[in-house]
C-alpha cells in the first residue's frame, strides 16, 4: 500500500530531516505521502510537495496542532493509519515524542532509530549507544523512526498534490505554556557539514564561546557540546552530542577538550573525519580520531584558526 | 499524591559491552548490572516531591527476571517506600509489552503520576513512557528537565531539539526523565540495610493478564563498523594542512 511520513518543521520551514526520512521511506518500495501537521503550514506543505518522489502531501492545519504536542499529533496519525502500511518519522524530539504513542494505539512495536533499510520489513538499528547493531524483522503495520544522520536527503524535483485534512478534536489535557528556543545564526547541529564541539576542559561558559566561536565562524560550523559541558552550564541542552543528545555525522567533527566517553562517541562516531584536541594524550577520543593534536586547547585552537587563514 | 516509578535493570553505563561472535546478542553474563541511569533521575524526582510534602508515597516497579529484584532493592535503598516485581524469565521484553504490564499495575495501584526514564541505555528504544501515556489516555511530557506540581496539574519543562519548552499537564500524567532533571542521590549504608525490610511484592505478566510475547524478531546483533585511531599531528599548522588535504574544509 503506502507509506506516510510525519514531516519535521518548526512552524515556518520544512526541516531537512524530512527529506532524509523520505530517503529511508522510499527504500520500503511503496508510494510515499508526507503529512504536514501544524498551524498555518501552507508554505511548509508546498515545500514538502516539491521533494522528489512524493506521491501526495496531506496538510493538517489547526490551532490545536500549532505546538506539535504528542497527543493531538498521535491522534491525527492514528486516524490516518488505516490507509497506510508504514508510518515513519525522523527521530527528532517531535518524532520520538509522537511515534511510540501511534505504535501503542495501533498495537504494534515501533522500530526506533532505523539506520539502514535491509528489506521492506527488515531494519538495522543501533543499540547500546551504537556499540552494537541489531537487525530486526517486523510483521504487520510498520511504525519507524529514522536516524537522520544515517541517510542523505532526497532532493527536489517533485510536484505532489496537496490535500487538506480534517483534524480530530483534542481533549486539551496537555497544554503548551511557552518555550525558550536557542537562536543561532550558525548551521543547525543535526545537519551541519562541520561541527566544532567543546567539553568540560573549556572551563566556563565564557571560555566555551570565546574559544569555539572564532573556529566555528571560520569553518561555518555548528557548535556542539559534551554532556559534561552542558551539565556544567557552559552550553545549552540542545547543543549536546551523544547517546541521549543529538546524533551527528558531519564531514568534519572537531572535538575540543572532550575526553570521549562512550556516551559521547555514540553521538559522533559516524562522522567522516574526526579531529581531537586534548591535553591528555591517553583520552579515549584519540582512539576514534583521524587527526589528534595533544596540548593546551587555549593556545592550539587560536593557532588552528590562524593556520586556516 | 502517589507516584509510580518504573525502573529497568541494564548493563552498567560504564561497561564496554561485547557483542557475541555468533551474532546472537550482547554478552551480559558476568557483566556489572545497574539501574538504568534515567530511572535513577525518575526515582530521585519522586523522592524530592515526597520530601517536599507534595507526594505521600513512592512505589517502584520493574518487569524482569529474578535478578531484577536487586534493582528494586537499589531503588528502595534510595528511599522508595515499596516495590512491585513483575517477574518473568522472558529473555526479551519489548517496550510495548512493558507499557501493557505497567498499565495493568496502574489499574490496581492508581497513582497520580508516573515518572520513568526517557530511555533505557541498553536497547535505546525511547518508547515505554510514550506508549504507556497513549494506552492510559493520560497526558505526557517526555525528556523532562524540570517539574513543578500545581493543583490538579503540573508544569513540565522539556528538553527538545530547539531548546526548552514548558507544558501544563492535567493529572494523572506520565513524565519521562532526562538527565538534567536532578542529580540522583547515593544510597547510604543505613538505608541499604533498611531497604531489605521494605515491602517487595511479586506478581507476573500472566497474573496481570498481559501477553508479553515479542512482536519484532531479532535476526542478528553485530559489531558496528569500527573507527581506528589515526595520526597525532605535531602542530595546529600541520592539522590545518591535513584537513585541507582531506578535502573537508
pLDDT for residue B89 is more than 90 = yes
Contact across the interface for B223 and A133, Cβ inside 8 Å: yes
CATH of the domain at A140: 3.40.50.620
> Which domains are delineated in chain B?
2-246 (3.40.50.620)
**In the predicted model, is pLDDT for residue A258 greater than 90?**
yes
- Say if residue A212 is in the same domain as residue A70: no
Given CB atoms, is A232 within the 8 Å cutoff of chain B?
A: no
Question: Per-residue pLDDT tens for B8-67?
Answer: 999 999 999 999 999 999 999 999 999 999 999 999 999 999 999 999 999 999 999 999
C-alpha cell at B50: 515526597
Residue A178 maps to a domain = no
Q: How many residues does chain A have?
A: 309
B134-184 per-position pLDDT tens digit: 999 999 999 999 999 999 999 999 999 999 999 999 999 999 999 999 999
Assess if residue A81 is contained within a domain. Answer: yes
Within this chain, do residues A91 and A237 fall inside the same structural domain, yes or no? no
Residue A175 belongs to some domain of the structure: no
Number of folded domains that form chain A? 2
Residue A20 has pLDDT above 90, yes or no: yes
Domain match, A149 and A215 both: no
Query: Judged by CB atoms within 8 Å, which residues 154-183 of B form the interface with A?
Result: 155, 158-170, 173, 178-180
A225 and A128 within one domain: no
User: What pLDDT score does B227 carry?
Assistant: 87
In a domain, A287, yes or no: yes
Q: Can you give the pTM of this predicted structure?
A: 0.95
Is A213 within a domain? yes
Contacts of B95 in chain A (CB under 8 A): 100, 109-110
CATH number at residue A260: 3.40.50.1220
CB contact under 8 A, B218 and A230: no
Question: Is A68 contained in some domain?
Answer: yes
Mean pLDDT score across all residues of chain A: 96
C-beta of residue A166 within 8 angstroms of C-beta of residue A80: no
Domain that holds residue A271: 189-307
Same-domain check for residues A124 and A271: no
Residues A17 and A54 in one domain: yes
ipTM of the predicted structure? Answer: 0.96
Same domain, A193 and A160: no
Query: Do A14 and A151 fall into the same domain?
Result: yes
Residue A267 lies in a domain: yes
Whether residue A91 is found in the same domain as residue A160: yes
Task: State residue B57's pLDDT score.
Answer: 98
State whether A142 and A245 are in the same domain.
no
Distance to chain A for B202, nearest Cα, Å: 26
pLDDT score, position A290: 97
Verify whether the Cβ–Cβ distance A230 to B180 is below 8 Å.
yes
Mean pLDDT across A144-156:
97
A218, A302: one domain: yes
CB proximity under 8 Å: A 131-160 to B: 131-140
Residue A171 pLDDT? 86
Closest CA relative to residue A91, chosen from A113, A76, A109: A113
Q: Do strands B153-160 and B163-170 pair parallel, antiparallel, or not at all (unpaired)?
A: antiparallel
Name the band, by pLDDT with cuts 50, 70 and 90, for residue B249.
confident
Task: Tell me, yes or no, whether A136 and A214 share the same domain.
Answer: no
Amino acid at each position: 500500500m503506502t507509506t506516510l511520513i510525519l514531516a519535521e518543521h518548526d512552524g515556518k520551514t520544512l526541516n531537512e530531516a524530512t527529506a532524509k526520512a523520505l530517503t529511508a521511506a522510499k527504500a520500503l518500495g511503496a508510494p510515499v505521502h508526507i503529512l504536514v501537521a501544524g498551524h498555518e503550514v501552507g508554505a511548509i506543505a508546498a515545500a514538502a510537495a516539491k521533494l522528489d518522489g512524493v506521491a501526495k502531501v496531506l496538510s493538517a492545519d489547526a490551532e490545536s496542532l500549532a505546538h506539535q504536542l504528542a497527543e493531538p499529533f498521535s491522534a491525527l496519525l492514528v486516524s490516518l493509519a488505516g490507509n497506510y502500511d508504514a508510518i515513519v518519522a525522523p527521530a527528532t524530539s517531535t518524532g520520538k515524542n509522537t511515534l511510540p504513542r501511534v505504535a501503542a494505539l495501533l498495537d504494534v512495536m515501533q522500530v526506533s532509530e532505523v539506520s539502514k533499510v535491509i528489506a521492506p520489513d527488515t531494519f538495522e538499528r543501533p543499540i547500546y549507544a551504537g556499540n552494537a547493531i541489531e537487525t530486526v524483522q517486523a510483521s504487520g503495520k510498520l511504525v519507524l523512526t529514522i536516524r537522520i544522520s544515517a541517510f542523505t536527503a532526497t532532493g527536489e524535483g517533485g510536484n505532489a498534490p496537496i490535500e487538506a485534512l480534517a483534524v480530530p478534536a483534542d481533549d486539551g489535557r496537555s497544554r503548551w505554556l511557552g518555550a525558550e528556543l536557542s537562536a543561532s545564526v550558525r548551521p543547525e547541529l543535526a545537519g551541519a557539514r562541520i561541527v566544532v564541539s567543546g567539553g568540560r576542559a573549556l572551563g566556563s561558559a565564557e571560555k566555551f564561546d570565546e574559544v569555539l566561536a572564532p573556529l566555528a565562524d571560520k569553518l561555518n560550523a555548528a557548535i556542539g557540546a559534551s554532556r559534561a559541558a552542558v551539565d556544567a552550564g557552559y552550553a545549552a541542552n540542545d547543543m549536546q552530542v551523544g547517546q541521549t543528545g543529538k546524533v551527528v555525522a558531519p564531514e568534519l567533527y572537531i572535538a575540543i577538550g572532550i575526553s570521549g566517553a562512550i556516551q559521547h562517541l555514540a553521538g559522533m562516531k559516524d562522522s567522516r573525519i574526526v579531529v581531537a584536541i586534548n591535553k591528555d594524550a591517553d583520552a579515549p577520543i584519540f582512539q576514534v580520531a583521524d587527526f589528534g593534536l595533544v596540548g593546551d586547547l587555549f593556545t592550539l585552537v587560536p593557532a588552528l584558526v590562524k593556520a586556516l587563514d | 499524591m502517589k507516584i509510580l516509578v518504573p525502573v529497568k535493570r541494564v548493563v552498567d553505563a560504564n561497561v564496554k559491552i561485547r557483542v557475541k561472535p555468533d551474532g546472537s546478542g550482547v554478552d551480559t553474563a558476568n557483566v556489572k548490572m545497574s539501574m538504568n541511569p534515567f530511572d535513577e533521575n525518575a526515582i530521585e524526582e519522586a523522592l524530592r516531591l515526597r520530601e517536599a510534602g507534595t507526594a505521600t508515597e513512592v512505589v517502584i516497579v520493574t518487569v524482569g527476571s529474578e535478578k531484577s529484584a536487586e534493582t528494586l532493592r537499589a531503588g528502595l535503598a534510595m528511599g522508595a517506600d515499596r516495590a512491585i516485581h513483575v517477574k518473568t524469565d522472558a529473555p526479551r521484553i519489548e517496550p510495548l509489552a512493558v507499557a501493557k504490564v505497567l498499565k495493568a499495575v496502574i489499574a490496581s495501584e492508581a497513582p497520580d503520576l508516573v515518572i520513568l526514564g526517557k530511555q533505557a541505555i541498553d536497547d535505546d528504544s525511547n518508547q515505554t513512557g510514550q506508549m504507556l501515556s497513549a494506552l492510559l489516555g493520560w497526558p505526557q511530557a517526555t525528556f523532562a528537565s524540570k517539574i513543578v506540581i500545581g493543583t490538579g496539574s503540573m508544569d513540565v519543562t522539556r528538553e527538545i531539539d530547539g531548546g526548552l519548552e514548558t507544558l501544563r499537564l492535567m493529572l494523572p500524567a506520565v513524565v519521562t526523565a532526562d538527565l538534567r532533571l536532578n542529580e540522583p542521590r547515593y544510597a547510604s549504608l543505613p538505608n541499604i540495610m533498611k531497604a531489605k525490610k521494605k515491602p517487595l511484592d511479586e506478581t507476573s505478566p500472566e497474573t496481570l493478564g498481559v501477553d508479553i510475547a515479542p512482536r519484532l524478531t531479532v535476526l542478528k546483533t553485530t559489531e558496528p563498523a569500527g573507527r581506528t585511531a589515526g595520526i597525532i599531528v605535531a602542530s595546529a599548522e600541520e592539522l590545518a594542512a591535513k584537513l585541507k588535504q582531506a578535502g573537508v574544509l
